[in-house]
Structure 1
């Protein structure tokens, strides 16, 4: 793998700052506008990212205590978290986003070396070491910072993160190769986001 545990933790920190900065700049009206994800307003997206931090916090708790704690009690709960977004004010959503991100960072920072090796299960049913949690969060926070549609692009994300993301998406999509082009544009294509690459097949949405 191109990425390390330490790098993933740094990307979480970087993405969290990017996302929080974008959210802080959105007033109530701007938060109700569409995000770059079809069918979701920015409020839906912010609620999803906040709920994701809470959910990954459950996996950190699982790693720390050994007690099975799924990310979500059910997919209905996950969907309910997202649908709660439009019901909350911009200020309330920003507070939830910042608070959940802070709680996750504190919880991860408290894990011991042995606890990081503990096995947990993702929402997709994959059994992974807890060291995978920072990468799961880095993907979520960095990609969705772009999805807010505030003008941020994949070119604003670290090259190391983008390279790791290409490797991850390529493996998950089962692609033999990836198209040539600037790294941010290749990532946008692989992630199913708008891109300028020509002559490539549509891959559909991801994340």
Structure 2
């Protein structure tokens, strides 16, 4: 995964929302209880928060991801979700553009610098940006779905979500292009397209039905 992957997804997101109107913004997203306005607000707020993580790390400082923690994060999403389409689109464009500009400042020797997002580093933060932009762009339900996820992204997301495999379970996800497994115990083998298997593991709708065990929460 490289910065180019993040740029590509950012471009896809901004293109999909370029003509956003108010009815579309008020429409349901893929996420239960969230409109597209909720998802767009979350992506914009995450982008601003990660920009701050990057900029502070480059100055040798650590800063909380969201002032006020998760309760403030959730409140900000609810507060911003019902804005007009123009306001949502402007916020999203400015936030995502600023995030890309911050990532452009990172030199090859900077990637190990620590950040407080998941108590990780800038390299992991770039991966988080890739995940957030990709997954939530598909959550909008606007001509981009998990079926459009790349194989590299699918394998990355599966590895990131390994903690979702239930205890005492050896989960094997087998597609025509890749086989991924995790855990120990009773073997459970699921077959299908890699994008469907990954979407199921991520708790997202699948193009074809995938029936598997109940998964643990996101890490």
- Pairwise TM-score range, normalised by the shorter structure: 0.7 to 0.9
Q: Distance in 1 between matches of 2:191 and 2:79?
A: 40
CA contact (8 A) 2:44 2:92 kept: yes
Q: Distance in 2 between matches of 1:48 and 1:27?
A: 18
Structure 1 pair 43–189 and aligned structure 2 pair: CA distance change class (3 A): same
Q: Match for residue 63 of structure 1? A: 57
Structure 1 pair 174–203 and aligned structure 2 pair: CA distance change class (3 A): closer
Q: Match for residue 6 of structure 2? A: 12
- Structure 1 unmatched ranges of 5 or more: 1-6
When normalised by structure 2's length, the TM-score is 0.82
Q: Distance in 1 between matches of 2:74 and 2:210?
A: 35
| Aligned pair partner of 2:214 in 193, 202, 207 | 202
Q: Match for residue 107 of structure 1? A: 102
Q: Match for residue 21 of structure 1? A: 15
Q: Higher helix proportion, which one?
A: 1
CA offsets 1:16-43 (integer angstroms, 9 cap, x no match): 1121122123211111011010000000
Q: Match for residue 88 of structure 1? A: 83
Q: Distance in 1 between matches of 2:191 and 2:56?
A: 41
When normalised by structure 1's length, the TM-score is 0.87
Structure with the greater alpha carbon radius of gyration: 2
CA offsets 1:162-194 (integer angstroms, 9 cap, x no match): 22112222x232464233211110111001112
Say whether 1:168 aligns with 2:163. no
CA contact (8 A) 2:200 2:210 kept: no
Q: Higher strand proportion, which one?
A: 2
The answer to which structure, 1 or 2, has the higher relative contact order (CA under 8 A, 6+ apart) is 1
Structure 1 pair 155–30 and aligned structure 2 pair: CA distance change class (3 A): same
Say whether 1:131 aligns with 2:123. yes
User: Matched residue pairs, number?
Assistant: 197
Q: Match for residue 36 of structure 1? A: 30
